[in-house]
Amino acid sequence: MYPTATDTRGLAGQTVGDTQICSVNQTQLIYRGYEIADLAANATFEEVAFLLLVGHKPSADELATFSGDLVSMREIPASVADAIVRIAGESPSAHPMSVLRTAISLLGHLDSECEDNGPDAELRKSMRLLAQIPTCIGIHQRALEGKPAISPDPALGHAANLLWCMTGEKPGNIAARVMDVSLILYAEHDFNASTFTCRTIASTNSDLHSAICGGVGALKGNLHGGANEAAMAMLEDIMRDTEGGDITVEAWMQRAFEEKRKLMGFGHRVPRNFDRRAGILREWGLKYAAEENRESSRWFELGDEVQGIMLREKNIFPNVSLSCGMTYFAMGIPVPQYTPIFVASRITGWCAHVMEQHANNRIIRPLASYTGPELTTWNG
């Protein structure tokens, strides 16, 4: 399923540039010098966002200012809120990622610094998008449910406010922390497809909002961010098919292998054999299930059984998408919002990369090998 080092299609295994933001290898995921398990255990998402966007661990004062600024930036212009509600009414089946792509594009028109690619303006634009994306997600989800939008709550941090805007319920401490940890885990992953998209767009001297719209589009695919939705859809399939007792999980998996069905939530190009994030989020998901939603534990049991079979039969480890899918499911988050929530986190990594690209730019313009028809003449 995953390529060998000598198979370079899709730029697999090809190092295409430098970054000071993130390091991913077979054993570690590091954000600007801090290992992901350390951050998940000891930092908040706001601290990680500051680290990624500004470049160092914030002091207490820096963090207070940064967090306060984010809270003050959460409201979105009325015309963008209206547009999201209108789209939910006119195109209720539009994927939330497509709607978020539109919302961010609209926010660009109204951002007075839209065309300023300088570092100060780009940091401010990054913070505005970081603050506004949960608002956009919340308005869309509520509109789909026929409910009025909820104002962001200044008393809540980024993760808790995101849950509040989506559900209209103040999350408990565990729910808020589980979401916070998931946002930390998802914030950055070096030159993944969406980040590389952002950098390629920025490399033409285009603006940050243009880059982020591209990143949202890339993250949407089920080989990337969309995998957490796809992984959960797969688990729902297995649960439904096996619940009646007509088929065992083992038999379901063997049939999927025989049919060469693509199973989501397993393997990763980088790292190949071990996704540090999967275990961290599984622990938090289990904690949430045990303390807040015992009934949801059966999803983790199913996930563990499926993981075990994949490892035994295919030697492929689960990735973070599977843990994330189960955890968000246990928390009652609508499946189509999983990838938009990923955006609410990865916006930090994307924006950090856009700033890094603009600080030392060279257009990303590779070559192709032509394998088409030989030269001929039009009238001939």
Q: Which is nearer to its own copies, 31 or 164 (CB)?
A: 31
Q: Which residue has the tokens 């098919």?
A: 241
CA 92, 98, 99, 105 torsion: positive or negative? negative
CB of 209 vs its own copies, minimal distance in Å: 7
The gap from C-alpha 106 to its chain's centroid, in whole angstroms, comes to 21
CA 214, 220, 222, 227 torsion: positive or negative? positive
CB of 112 vs its own copies, minimal distance in Å: 9
Q: Which is nearer to its own copies, 115 or 291 (CB)?
A: 115
CB of 273 vs its own copies, minimal distance in Å: 16
* Structure token pair of residue 81: 């809120």
CB of 359 vs its own copies, minimal distance in Å: 13
Grouping H, G, I as helix, E, B as strand and the rest as coil, residue 23 is strand
Q: 287: exposed, middle or buried (C-beta count within 10 Å: 0-12, 13-18, 19+)?
A: middle
Q: Which is nearer to its own copies, 30 or 247 (CB)?
A: 30
Q: Which is nearer to its own copies, 94 or 233 (CB)?
A: 94
Alpha carbon dihedral 334, 336, 339, 343, in 10-degree steps, equals -80
CA 10, 12, 16, 22 torsion: positive or negative? positive
Q: Which is nearer to its own copies, 315 or 369 (CB)?
A: 369
* Structure token pair of residue 339: 């990838």
CB of 256 vs its own copies, minimal distance in Å: 18
